[in-house]
Copies of this chain bind each other. A is one copy, B any other.
Amino acid sequence: MMEAVGQKRAVVLLSGGLDSATVLAIARQQGYEIAALSFQYGQRHSVELEAARRLAAAAGVARHVVMQIDLRVFGGSSLTTNQPVPKGRDLSQPEAGIPSTYVPARNTIFLSFALAFAEVQQAADIFAGMNAIDYSGYPDCRPEYLRAFETLANLATRAGVEGTLRTRIHAPLISLSKAEIIRRGLELGVDYGATISCYDADPQTGAACGDCDSCQLRRAGFQANGVPDPTHYKATTSR
């Protein structure tokens, strides 16, 4: 006998970048009612939040919360201070290491808020765009990290302890290359022109720098697909 149930719910972490836009499309395709969560955390520009708002609206999410958390008070990252963002790094070299754009414990903070939001929304599923292939080596993007968070999540909440929700952390991009992510998103109709990947976008025009890790990975991903990248890059970049 089948029981009539409401639509299954998910919380999707939505930065406004290419990866999270693809994850949003994947969660939608899987039939979830979606609550999207973005953060104004003191990042250099709000271009990506505008992108998140456009993407959430276009996807028709049930709710979109932009949480204000000022990680600048801690410092420690070039994404939240006046430290320069590294440009032109050779990402093919393993010794590149974890760059200054690493924000201490950022994904742990983001997932913790997602867990709170999910419990209130009675959503068992949390989707996030972590990727451990074409990425900058951030520790909190690795599968073992995400498994540890899932274990924690099910010990942390009333819903987990009372057995009403079994939290699952979904990172559908975790083992995809950037080229594969873009291919998947194009199949799902993601409007990549509405996304922004650059760490150092022009706050006035929204133009991407073309040289930071994130721009490099994105450009290579589109090139590998033989598809034009709809991003507006600064005219002054070397490419």
Which residue numbers of A lie inside 8 Å of B, CB to CB? 65, 67-71, 73-76, 98, 102-109, 111-113, 115-117, 119-120, 138-140, 142, 144-145, 148-149, 151-153, 155-158, 160-162
How many protomers of this protein does the assembly include?
2
Distance A36 CA – B234 CA, assembled complex (angstroms): 43
Contact present for A74 and B68 (CB under 8 Å): no
User: Which residues on B sit within 8 Å (CB–CB) of A113?
Assistant: 105, 109
Distance A105 CA – B118 CA, assembled complex (angstroms): 10
Contact present for A73 and B67 (CB under 8 Å): yes
Secondary structure class of chain A's binding surface, majority of residues: helix
Contact present for B155 and A116 (CB under 8 Å): no
Q: Can you add 7 more A-B contacts, CB < 8 Å, to A74-B120, A152-B152?
A: A67-B69, A98-B162, A102-B158, A104-B116, A105-B113, A111-B112, A145-B156
Contact present for B120 and A139 (CB under 8 Å): no
User: Which residues on B sit within 8 Å (CB–CB) of A68?
Assistant: 68-70
User: Which residues on B sit within 8 Å (CB–CB) of A144?
Assistant: 155
Distance A142 CA – B156 CA, assembled complex (angstroms): 9
Q: How far is the CB of A148 from chain B (nearest CB, A)?
A: 4
Contact present for A116 and B71 (CB under 8 Å): yes
Distance A153 CA – B144 CA, assembled complex (angstroms): 12
User: Which residues on B sit within 8 Å (CB–CB) of A73?
Assistant: 65, 67
